[in-house]
Amino acid sequence: MPTAKEREQFVRALLGWYEKHGSDLPWRNLSNPYLVLVSECMLQQTQVDRVIPKYHAFAEQFPDVASLARASTGDVLRAWSGLGYNSRALRLQKFAREVVENHGGIIPSDIATLLTLPGIGKYTAGAIRTFGYGLPAAFIDVNIARILHRVFFGAEGTYPALSTQETEELAAYLAPMTSEAYPYHQALMDVGRKFCTARKTTCADCPLKTQCRARMRFEAEPLYLAEHRKKNRRTKEPFALSQRFLRGRIIHLLREHHEGLDFAELHALLSAIPVPNLERLPKALLDLEKEELLHLRENRYML
């Protein structure tokens, strides 16, 4: 665990940098937990530049919990088009409906209650509390965990990996339990995006460079991260052959055909794209139906 001096140095470096250089993003400084949640759902596995225009359009169409809760699932999925991972949109709407039905349309601010709601994990609960309400919390995602490990323990693969619990304990020790929790966590997000990504680092410009135990290795071995990732990379099925690609094409076609498509029509349209592995179509449709991403009505699939 870092010393008290190391902790103070870490927090002050982040806050000082953020005050001068923090990113101006549309979902920051809103005091609106709903729009914070929308942005957090969109930012999962999607780059900021792609999210910004979709965020604006989604917030205009569904400006609050109530409007999202009463919308049709098809309209929500159409508004989500282009972001991928459509289950995120479905979880977001389930959350909105739960809040309207059981919480009077008011998103809770305490972590314990937030964790009982659909699609909310520890990170998202902390983000809602801190970014939406300005209340202190400590939370991590993969980017924060990566920064904490590199700064205090060194580069990936050079020190035994911290467990999730150990990383959460470290995050709780470091995070200010004051109003500074907001800029502190936003600064971590910016540093993780600008200087300390999983694939490359820009150590010379990072506000944490004087404290970071990984910096020396990254600067001495410029290919270290690429070699580490290559060594630990798992062989993946090509995306165009994956079930996720097929599922995405199905949802895309159903967005365009509001009246729905029967199996034969859907199969023909997918064949024309073309989409490989169409023998997987029945299973993909069944899985999407179970996840409530589509519905079968009078032998026609629709959103």
Tell me the catalytic residues. Answer: 40
DSSP letter string, 139-161: ---HHHHHHHHHHHH-STTSSPP
Give the C-alpha separation, 12 to 212, whole Å. Answer: 14
Six-digit token pair at 70?
């009463």
Alpha-helical regions (H) of 80-223: 87-102, 111-114, 122-127, 133, 142-153, 164-174, 181-194, 215-220
* Cβ pair 269, 253 in contact under 8 A: yes
Helix crossing, 263-272 with 281-290: angle to 10°? 120
In sequence order, what are the residues at sequence separation of 6 or more whose Cβ sits closer than 8 angstroms to the Cβ of residue 157? 228, 231, 232
Spatial contact of 52 and 64, defined as CB atoms under 8 Å apart: no
User: How many C-beta neighbours within 10 Å does residue 198 have?
Assistant: 13
User: d(Cα 211, Cα 112) in Å, to the nearest integer?
Assistant: 34
Picking from 302, 280, 248, 266, the residue whose alpha carbon sits closest to that of residue 74 is 302
C-alpha gyration radius of the chain: 22
**99: closest CA among 77, 121, 114, 79?**
114
Helix axes 33-43, 87-102, angle to 10 degrees: 160
On whether the CB atoms of residues 110 and 69 are closer than 8 A, the answer is no
Q: Which residues does residue 300 pair with via DSSP β-bridges, in sequence order?
A: 297
* Single-letter residue type at 223: L
